[in-house]
């Protein structure tokens, strides 16, 4: 899973919370800008995608984070299955982490998220 947030602190907080809920699920971050300021950057999202092993689910907070997550998926040239869900980021991260920790497929996780 990749958390795309305008704030590195928000992304880190979600990662910390999800480690408590599903410690075996890797959470990658694309929060804030390189200099630590608020914002999102497609290159940071693509770099996080490169770190993922297997399938990747992107979750974003608001506005341009959503736009940049979608753009990163469009720009991605790798072979990993990548999905995006636009919903409440904390709740979605919780559902996705627990489901992934229970070996649910990416497709099934996205379907489950759509029903929340």
Q: Which residues are catalytic?
A: 6
Q: Which two tokens stand for residue 75?
A: 């720009």
Nearest Cα to Cα of residue 58 among 3, 114, 116, 113? 3
Q: Judge whether 48 and 41 are in contact, CB under 8 Å.
A: no
Helix axis angle, 89-101 to 8-21, nearest 10°: 40
- Does residue 80 sit in helix, strand or coil? coil
């Amino acid at each position: 899973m990749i958390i795309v947030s305008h704030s590195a602190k928000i992304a880190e907080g979600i990662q910390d919370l999800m480690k408590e809920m599903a410690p075996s699920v890797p959470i990658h971050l694309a929060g804030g800008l390189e200099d630590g300021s608020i914002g999102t950057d497609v290159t940071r999202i693509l770099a996080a995608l490169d770190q993922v092993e297997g399938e990747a689910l992107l979750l974003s907070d608001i506005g341009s984070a959503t736009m940049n997550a979608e753009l990163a998926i469009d720009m991605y040239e790798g072979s990993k299955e990548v999905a995006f869900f636009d919903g409440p980021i904390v709740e979605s991260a919780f559902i996705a982490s627990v489901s992934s920790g229970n070996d649910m497929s990416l497709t099934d996780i996205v379907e489950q998220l759509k029903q929340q």
